[in-house]
Amino acid sequence: MRVCPSPLRIIVNSSLNCSKEFSTKTCHSFPSRCEGRNWANTPVLLRGRPSLIKILIKRRLSDKFPPTFEIPVENIRNFSIIAHVDHGKSTLADRLLEMAGAIDKNCGRSQVLDKLQVERERGITVKAQSASLIYNVDGTDYMLNLIDTPGHVDFSNEVSRSLSACQGVILLVDANQGVQAQTVANFYMAFTKELVIIPVLNKIDLKNANPEAITDQLKNIFGIEENEVLKISAKLGTGVDAVLRAIVERIPPPPVNRDKPFRALLFDSWYDRYRGAVSLLYVVDGKVQMGDMISSALSGKLYEVKGLGILTPQETPVECLVAGQVGFMFCNMRSSQEAHIGDTIFHEGNPVAILPEFKASQPMVFAGVYPVDQSHHVELRNAIERLVLNDSAVTSSVESSPALGLGWRLGFLGILHLEVFSQRLLQEFNAEVVVTAPSVTYKATVIGEKNIKKYRSSEISFSNPSQFPDPQIVSEYFEPFVLGTIISPDKYLGPIMQLCMDRRGIQKSMQNIDNHTVMMQFILPLNEIVIDFHDTLKSVSSGYASFDYEEYGYFESKLVKLVILLNGIPVDELSAVVHSSKASIVGHKICAKLKELIPRQMVLIAIQAAVGGKIVARETLKPYRKDVTAKLYGGDVTRRKKLLKQQAEGKKKMRMLANINVPKDIFIDVLKRN
């Protein structure tokens, strides 16, 4: 808590949630003005005696949150809300927060737990967020630790990470759309972890909602009985109290022991300028207090606990965290790599059994990320390190490119993940980047003793087309496949089958989940789905089909390197690895797309695609000289200079490839098929 001199400005906590400011004439009106609102994080302008205001604030905070160790384990419930994209997870989280009094109904914000700018702009959750609520049922206070998770498949890592701190989940299903692909994936994720599943149908207020039919779907697919299903409207708040009661009644308290030595699972972290790495802990045994010396099982390093707190959903400091609780801790972890997701934290000199580390998701797509200006290399390195701390699914290694300089090859769970990451780099760290064409990781078996020695193994992996091994030294190439699940109304079956066949898919199964809806499984090459499969699927099914996928292993494939040449010079940054049957089609598409994307320049540009020295496609971009001052007849010289300056600024946004200026976003845009 910070108290500044007159006029008094009190910020109980610096991360603002309800950012309305208000002022009062005297401090005596403070309690009444604040009654019933969540003001713990609100900056308050007051005139009065600081000491009195401090007392009022403390009293109010302690009203809501008794010292955390006073809450018995049997009154704690840890749960996540899981669902398909847009089925209403964040809206339900808002209602739960409101009903528990953690946020004010009139604070003027929705989806309160979607804190990132990118989440608010895109209207999707990309980062799981926790909140601890105190909720009273029949005269007993319960501490509910809720985690709102993302719905998109590219962020499934966030869901599985969150579930490791929970004993139950709310499986939310849109009563209009019904069971979708991520509903199935999320259900099985919770089911295999043996968590209690509370099925909840949302959006029953919608005119087209059909709760009875969707209840049947839940029964057919998951064997969920009708009497287990709750029906709510998260938007209007209808039935949400029954959800809170079900959480208390159906989900068991965490299986923890407060008498054992301290042991906690580090399951999320973020970077703070002043405090370094902040870790989110699920305390499994014992308790941790301010000033304790703790150790990390993975690094063996020692730290002194400098701060502890719970998220309410604002950061609320506490003196200690006890077994069963979810809370944050900072302890002078200066380097981002020190806060390792899945690590076990314990008291110094008191080793404990290491908690099972959860299986990290493997990155599916890789792309080169380079600073727009090489002089910003160090700043970008720091930004990437800090962002990776908050997004543990991203992997990174250093790489360089003749055209783009020094950069990193980053691994992502999908294209949306890549786009969100680069958007966060810009918004949260002011780091503008060039992202190269995304690619998946291929494998090859190398032959010849000399070559095996050179590569140090007979099997090599590569994700960058520039590392494509010479076909003469390779006996087989392998590419990764996924098992895709598609759920759609049956009237779109034809176009969906056609799309999957076009993408080299093999049908594995088909099941009716009700009279109008089918669930299909296809084995698909990952490189055929990473870029635009989801968008195309949506467009062929008028938006009704949903898609989810999981790894299915590597299979032999006839791969070739499709080299793109600009005026005869090969450009690795634009080249791609493709199946031989698709080389010509993809080559024509890339050349046509490049013709569209590269601005006409003063020289003629030949755009060619080649496989093994044979040209498979060609486009020609005619020369053009743009005299921006041509329209000026006489007039002031400053106008002429202004136009030339604008033209020079435009050129700065271009990258030089094979002596040709190209827009910096060309690498991703060229792969988008539409």
Binding-site residue set for GTP: 83-90, 148-152, 202-205
What is the rounded CA–CA span in Å between residue 386 and residue 337? 9
**Which of the stretches 202-210, 379-387, 416-424, 661-669 binds ligand GTP when contact is defined by CB under 6 A?**
202-210
Q: Does 99 bind ligand GTP (CB under 6 A)?
A: no
Gap between the Cα atoms of 674 and 671, Å rounded: 9
Nearest CA to 285 out of 266, 258, 304 is that of 258
In Å, how far are 408, 575, 671 from 606, measured between CA atoms?
Answer: 30, 15, 19
Return the SS3 of 98.
helix
The nearest distance, CB 129 to ligand GTP, in angstroms, is: 10
Task: Select from 86-94, 278-286, 397-405, 518-526 the region that touches ligand GTP (CB under 6 A).
Answer: 86-94
Task: Let me know the angle formed at the C-alpha of 38 by 74 and 88, rounded to the nearest 5 degrees.
Answer: 70
241 near ligand GTP, judged by CB under 6 A: no
Q: Is there binding between residue 89 and ligand GTP (CB under 6 A)?
A: yes
Per DSSP, what are the bridge partners of residue 97?
Answer: none
Stretch of 9-17, 79-87, 297-305, 369-377 lying at the interface with ligand GTP (CB under 6 A): 79-87
Name the residue nearer to ligand GTP (CB basis): 210 or 395: 210
* 150 contacts ligand GTP (rule: CB under 6 A): yes
Question: Which region among 6-14, 131-139, 227-235, 387-395 touches ligand GTP (by CB under 6 A)?
Answer: 227-235
**DSSP letter assigned to residue 599:** P
Choose one: 88-96, 264-272, 360-368, 402-410; the region binding ligand GTP (CB under 6 A): 88-96
Asked if residue 484 binds ligand GTP (CB under 6 A), the reply is no
Quick one: which of 17, 68, 75, 90 contacts ligand GTP (CB under 6 A)?
A: 90
361 and 321 Cβ atoms separated by less than 8 Å: no
The verdict on 206 binding ligand GTP (CB under 6 A) reads yes
The DSSP result for 520-558, as a single string, is EEEEEEHHHHTTTHHHHHHHHTTT--EEEEEEEEEEEE-
Query: Is residue 419 close enough to count as binding ligand GTP by CB under 6 A?
Result: no
What is the residue-wise DSSP string for 353-411?
PPPPPPPPPPP-EEEEEEESSGGGHHHHHHHHHHHHHH-TT-EEEEEEETTTEEEEEEE
Establish if 205 lies at the interface with ligand GTP (CB under 6 A): yes
Q: Mask 118-147, x = binds ligand GTP (CB under 6 A)?
A: ------xx----------------------
Binding-residue total with ligand GTP (CB under 6 A): 20
Min separation Cβ 475 and ligand GTP, Å: 44
**Least distance from ligand GTP to the Cβ atom of residue 233, Å:** 4
CB 184 within 8 A of CB 221: yes
CA 380 – CA 397 distance, rounded (Å): 13
Q: Decide: is 85 part of the binding site for ligand GTP (CB under 6 A).
A: yes
C-alpha 243/C-alpha 260 separation (Å) is: 33
CA separation for the pair 455, 444 (Å, rounded): 11
Check residue 157 for interaction with ligand GTP (CB under 6 A): no
Q: Give the binding range for ligand GTP (CB under 6 A) out of 230-238, 253-261, 266-274, 615-623.
A: 230-238
Is residue 151 near ligand GTP by the rule CB under 6 A?
yes
Nearer to ligand GTP, 86 or 532 (CB): 86
Question: Binding site: which residues?
Answer: 83-90, 148-152, 202-205
Gyration radius of the chain's alpha carbons = 28
Q: Is the dihedral of CA 56, 58, 59, 65 positive or negative?
A: positive
As a whole number of angstroms, the distance between CA 623 and CA 37 comes to: 65
Helix (H, G, I), strand (E, B) or coil at 500: helix
Positions in 342-381 near ligand GTP (CB under 6 A)? none
State which residue, 167 or 546, has the beta carbon closest to ligand GTP: 546
Q: How far is the CB of 237 from ligand GTP (least distance, A)?
A: 9
Q: Is 91 in the site for ligand GTP (CB under 6 A)?
A: yes
Point out which span in 133-141, 197-205, 391-399, 571-579 binds ligand GTP (CB under 6 A). 197-205
Distance separating alpha carbons of residues 202 and 263, to the nearest angstrom: 37
Between 211 and 309, whose beta carbon lies closer to ligand GTP?
211
Q: Of 42 and 111, which CB lies nearer to ligand GTP in the complex structure?
A: 111
Kindly write out the interface string for residues 559-598 of this chain, putting x where it contacts ligand GTP by CB under 6 A and - elsewhere.
Answer: ----------------------------------------
Give the integer Cα–Cα distance in Å for 449 and 22. Answer: 76
The residue sitting closest to ligand GTP, measured at its beta carbon, is 151
Q: Which of 334, 428, 436, 433 is nearest to 377 (CA)?
A: 433
607 contacts 620 by C-beta, under 8 angstroms:
yes
333 is a contact residue toward ligand GTP (CB under 6 A): no
Please say which residue, 296 or 361, places its beta carbon nearer to ligand GTP: 361
Q: Contact between 186 and ligand GTP (CB under 6 A)?
A: no
Tell me how far the alpha carbon of residue 163 is from its chain's centroid: 15
Binding site for ligand GTP (CB under 6 A): 83, 85-91, 111, 124-125, 150-151, 202-203, 205-206, 233-235
